[in-house]
Amino acid sequence: MSVRRTRKDDGSQWTVADSRSVYGIRHWGAGYFAINEAGRVEVRPNGPNSTPVDLYEQVDELRKSGLSLPLLVRFPDILQDRVRQLTGAFDSNIERLEYQSQYTALYPIKVNQQEAVIENIIATQNVSIGLEAGSKPELLAVLALAPKGGTIVCNGYKDREFIRLALMGQKLGHNVFIVIEKESEVELVIEEAASLKVKPQVGLRVRLSSLASSKWADTGGEKSKFGLSAAQLLSVVERFRAAGLDQGIRLLHFHMGSQIANLADYQHGFKEAIRYYGELRNLGLPVDHIDVGGGLGVDYDGTHSRNASSINYDMDDYAGVVVGMLKEFCDAQSLPHPHIFSESGRSLTAHHAMLVVQVTDVEKHNDEIPTIENKESLPETVQWLVDLLGPTDIEMVTETYWRATHYMSDVATQYADGKLTLAEKALAEQCYFAVCRRLHNSLKARQRSHRQVLDELNDKLADKYICNFSVFQSLPDTWAIGQVLPILPLHRLDEEPLRRAVLQDLTCDSDGKIKQYVDEQSIETSLPVHALNEGEDYLLGIFLVGAYQEILGDMHNLFGDTDSVNIYQREDGSVYSAGIETHDTIEDMLRYVHLSPEELMTHYRDKCASAKISASERTQFLDALRLGLTRSSYLSS
């Protein structure tokens, strides 16, 4: 049974409204996530007005059915709602601005190539949706999954086979655009088109000078890996013209980067991009499509700002800029309005998936006030720390903290010099953390003079919550580029989270931890959490992991894929599970690195045969080793 606790600041009772504020769920949840009155996280798969699904209850039922933690939970209905929101934003702006063409959302499958993701996106009713492929495996996938007549845009490096496959797709009835990224691709297109007797539909990707500010800015700008310079663009046009294929140039493409936080950056680059549209039309090319690429971001931290993990705009703002700037330019130049494509994969997929993990262990400082029987016998520096355990005037809180920190620095030096014993150092540490805990409880976050000390104390006093997952496998962007993801407990949210913690994974790597957390409308270095209850699992949800994380995850320390499940909602609000995939076993992981389980068992048998153990022990050991190979790479839950 959950217990309501009292807040320190004003003595009022903690409520779920306080948890909603602390974890900022209203700001980053986009209407899909909330905290119910029972203090548990709920999901609204079809938007804020749909029937809520208690995520904690669902996970409990799934565990009872045999699934284990960590568990990747997907809500495919969210995918379709995101598609409807995006296409709706463009359609409404097209209507409002009297734009004389259409919009098609392209899903770049590199963002998440799971079959259920692709199929649910393209199954969205009453919208215009296409697919983008950036490699031969992706192209072969979309050629099979795209509906006949569906739009397919081919990006990335291409060889002869890639181009031939794309042209075959055109002959099979798909609306295929082959985007030229490099001059070397031109002759391949010309030759393969002649071989297959097909008139290719060609796109030209331009390399913009404009550069947005984001963690993925290198995908745009003059140093971009892809795209044609102005001179290369003219050369490509002339080569197609010489081959009599210039009238197949139908598409202009550019890409400014992923997760563009500041809409003004996008406007600046888009202004440059649409100039190319005008120039290509003036060259007599029938360009009537413009692919504005990616960039539409996700407000991961809920600050609605220019932070790298946020955005200062919404879908409607983004669509309004694209449609409005295109219309203004085309009208001024007396040009036809082109059909608009966008590759907004992150925005479409991020919200639909979340990772549920359990806390398996807690490491915390001993901040209890120690019993001191003979203070005078202690070294002077330790005595000074003991003296700070007494009451402190509120006006002296910050000064007391700095004094305690200075004394603790002296303790470290004196211990290294051999002037303190291990027991004396341990007592000094306990006194120090007891002082810090008492001071922390006296500080107020809203008082500016306290903020710096409070931030430092949050760091110093944070517990280490060891969680049953791998950052490298399940949250690679968190490790690689410091991507911030919202995290909160799935339950007990009617209780005040009186502890703070840093989440650490199971890997034997110092990078295997999460370093930044959404806290109200800011980013902090620790997460508000509850103390663990005896005999009760403490479950945390890591949200907005639907874009890139699955496909980028690696097998550091041989931690493999987790259990995963798709949860669908029926029209009556009830839900059902499908697409269940169980975890990689240890045997699976060993095979990945070419360690044969059969050979390992041979070695086990040889070692058991030569060891000085009884026959029953030999049988017991071999059974345990054989069984161990079939287990999950994660801890048993």
Q: Binding site: residue ranges?
A: 290-300
Helices 315-333 & 76-97 angle (0-180, nearest 10): 30
E strands, 441-555, are: 463-467, 487-489, 499-504, 517-519, 522-524, 527-529, 539-542
Closest CA to 525 of 584, 579, 463: 463
Q: Do residues 164 and 196 lie in contact, with contact meaning Cβ atoms separated by under 8 Å?
A: yes
**What is the rounded (10 degree) CA torsion for 314, 320, 326, 330?**
180
- How far apart are the C-alpha atoms of 579 and 565, rounded to whole Å? 6
Angstrom distances, CA of residue 624 to CA of 338, 390, 617, 620, 635? 66, 55, 10, 6, 16
Q: Do residues 385 and 435 lie in contact, with contact meaning Cβ atoms separated by under 8 Å?
A: yes
Q: Do residues 381 and 411 lie in contact, with contact meaning Cβ atoms separated by under 8 Å?
A: yes
Q: Do residues 331 and 525 lie in contact, with contact meaning Cβ atoms separated by under 8 Å?
A: no
The answer to whether 330 is a known catalytic residue is no
Of 330, 431, 436, 508, which is the active-site residue? 508
Residue 389 in tokens: 């355990």
Query: b/e per residue, 277-303, with b = 16+ CB within 10 A?
Result: bbbbbeeebebebbbbbbbbbbbbbbb
- How far apart are the C-alpha atoms of 481 and 343, rounded to whole Å? 22
**For every residue of 304-362, which 3-state class applies, written as one string?**
CCCCCCCCCCCHHHHHHHHHHHHHHHHHHHCCCCCEEEECCHHHHHHHHEEEEEEEEEE
- How far apart are the C-alpha atoms of 333 and 327, rounded to whole Å? 10
Helix (H, G, I), strand (E, B) or coil at 367: coil
Angle at 123 between CA 119 and CA 127, to 5 degrees: 135
Which residues define the annotated binding site for substrate? Answer: 290-300
- How far apart are the C-alpha atoms of 112 and 82, rounded to whole Å? 15
- How far apart are the C-alpha atoms of 105 and 348, rounded to whole Å? 10
- How far apart are the C-alpha atoms of 478 and 488, rounded to whole Å? 16
Closest CA to 556 of 466, 465, 480, 464: 480
DSSP string, 537-590: --EEEE----SSHHHH---GGG--PPEEEEEEE-TTS-EEEEEEEPPPBHHHHH
Helix (H, G, I), strand (E, B) or coil at 282: helix
- How far apart are the C-alpha atoms of 313 and 344, rounded to whole Å? 14
283: CB partners within 8 A, 6+ apart? 237
Q: Do residues 300 and 292 lie in contact, with contact meaning Cβ atoms separated by under 8 Å?
A: no
Beta bridge partners, 13, equal 6
In the chain, the N- to C-terminal Cα span, in Å, equals 21
Residues with catalytic function: 508
